[in-house]
Every structure is written in structure tokens, then in C-alpha cells.
Chain A
Amino acid sequence: MNKNPLPIGTPAPDFTLHDSPDQTLSLADFKGQPVVIIFYPADFSPDCGDQLSIFNEVLPYFQHHRSQVLGISVDNVWSHLAFAHDRNLHFPLLSDFHPKGAAAGLYNAYNEETGTTERAIYVIDANGLVAWGFIASSPVNPGANGALEVLEALSRGTPEPIQ
């Protein structure tokens, strides 16, 4: 079934998820800067070049645009901690564990059949609106170019030059 992302301009639904056993992050924490949300099916997928590693490598370019990158899957925080350590990830992984897939569901990014998050990417602008959304219709990892181009366009549109 082809899924459509939330339309551009939609206020991005807020969520509060654990990024560690005793701490949570909310999307609202990042109001005022763009946010890149990467929904991915599961920690420890077999490829070393999975989409998180690509985003991790491109991270300085995302940070150049003052954006915050967040990864979300339904895995629990302990799996996330181990996975982030194993892949040397430098952005938070959020656990959409309980209620399962509830945050992903707000973004049309939860697969009810498999019980995992879809391969999906959203760029939320600094005002909290969806600037771009992508949900993969086949089990092929998306690259980072879509999100990067959107961030570049957002930066060009801002009144202050990006340093």
C-alpha cells in the first residue's frame, strides 16, 4: 500500500519519546530550528551503509543548516543505546516503543502489518511546519539528498544569512 506523507505546511504533530532510559525528548523542544526526522525499521539492520550511517556521515552539513536530526524506530532504549554506540551515531535515537508506533502513526509512518516504522523522512521547518515528507514505497533505503536539498532551500529562504 502506498502511503502518503503529511502534506507540506501541516503543523508537525508533537511527540515525547525516550532517548535514554530516564530522559525524553519532544519535537517541541526544537522549535526555532529545522528538524530532520528519520523513521527507520529497526536497529541493527544488516547493512553497514544503512540510511542512519549515511545521515551520520552527512551530519555536519545538516548541522550547518542549524537542523536537529532525530532517528525513530519502535526499538526500546537499550537497543537504541547499543545501536548508537555500535554505529557511532551522533544524533539521538528515539524509542517509539510504548504505545507502540504511536508517534510514527502521527506521521503515517507506522506499518501495522510488520509492527515496525516505515522508511520515512520528514523535514520540519523552524516554525514547526512540515516542509517535506517522504515515505518509501519499496524496501529501498532513501538517501540523504532529499532532506539536504530541502534544508538548503529553507536556508535560502530565511531572512538571516546562515553563517
Chain B
Amino acid sequence: MSSVLAVPIDEARDHLQGATDAPITLVEYGDYECPFCGQAFPLVKELQRELATQMRFIYRQLPLTQLHPHAGRAAYAAEAAGLQGKFWQMHDLLYDNQGSLYDASLVMYGDVIGLNLQQFVKDMESPEVAERVTADFLGGIRSGVNGTPCFFVNGRRYDGPYTYSGLRQALTDASGVQV
């Protein structure tokens, strides 16, 4: 059964941090209400700090809406913020506030990061944003996502522990391999 990233990185579409030509690509499929994704959030930041220009990080939506009732709306909020060029600001606020992902909170976060709120709320309800999240979700499923968070290092699913050292080792091992 495949555990290889099925959807290639698309710089025009993906939410990407870091140099586009970095030798190491880390993709995360995540759920804003998942506590394990919450624990991974500072680990990713630390890896980004340490690996700097060596790594680019892509985040894609995989809300487990049956398990986490607010995860779907939170994903919509992040993508709607992205339409106004502020995906990462919203992304960070969501993971910093996993206990407050109610609709009123999402609007407040939009206000905090300076979004046009009328447009934000409209975009959150739009078919485009819903389709984007669904496309991320299905792409993740087809890539062999087996839980959240799910990391792909240079296109291969990471099956190690969600620890700093585990991820760091996988990224180091991958640094000589191009996918």
C-alpha cells in the first residue's frame, strides 16, 4: 500500500514556508483541533529555525470532522485567510488556541490579523474553500495518510515518533535524497 505523497508540491497553490529550492521538503497533513498536531506545531517551528534554508514546509488540511467538531471550520478559516494572503498568521493563531475554535473565535482571529472580515466570512462559506479543503483531504488519503499529524519527508510518509529528534533525523537522512 502506497505511503508516497500523491499530490506533488505546487508552489502556486500550496502554503509554503522556506526557500522554494530547499533540498528538504516537509509536508504536514494536519487537523487544527487534534492535540497531537498541537504538540507537533512547536516542533515544526523549531525544525524550521534550525534547518533554515535547508527546508521548506508545506501544510495541507486533513480535518477529522467526525472526531473533532470544530476542525472543519478551522480549516476553512485558514484557507479563507489564505485568500487574503494571511494563511500562516491564521494557522499559527489556530494552533495557539486549539481550545477556542468556535465560529466567534475564528472571526475574532480574522480581526486580530487584519482581514477584511466581511470577505473572510463570505469566503469561509464559499464552495471554493470547501473544495480546497476536500481536495487536500482526498490528496492526503491517496498519499496513505494514516492519522494526524501525518508528515511526508521528501515525498515519503514519516512513520517514526512525533519527537523533535525523530523528525530531525528523518530530515537529515533525506537531505541527500531528491524526490
Contacts and interface: CB of A to CB of B under 8 A. Distances in A.
Contacts of A54: 64, 141, 145-147
B150 interface: yes
Contacts of B68: 48
Given A49-B36, A88-B66, A145 B147 contact: no
A48 B3 CA distance: 19
A49 B65 contact: no
A54 B3 CA distance: 14
A112 interface: no
Contacts of A22: none
Given A143-B141, A143-B146, A144-B141, A49 B31 contact: yes
A75 B106 CA distance: 39
Nearest to B144: A143
Given A54-B145, A143-B146, A48 B64 contact: yes
A89 B31 CA distance: 18
Interface string B1-27: 111001000000000000000000000
B-side interface mostly:
loop
B179 interface: no
Interface residues of A, number: 25
A50 B147 contact: yes
Interface string A72-94: 00000000000000011110000
Interface stretch (A6-14, A27-35, A95-103, A134-142): A134-142
B64 A49 contact: yes
A159 to B, nearest CB: 26
B66 A141 contact: no
B34 interface: yes
Interface of A: 47-51, 53-54, 56-58, 61, 87-90, 134, 138, 140-146, 148
Interface of B: 1-3, 6, 31, 34-36, 64-68, 137-138, 141-150, 159
21 contacts: A47-B36, A48-B34, A48-B68, A48-B148, A49-B34, A49-B148, A49-B149, A51-B146, A51-B147, A54-B147, A56-B66, A57-B65, A88-B66, A90-B66, A134-B1, A143-B3, A143-B141, A145-B2, A145-B6, A145-B142, A148-B142
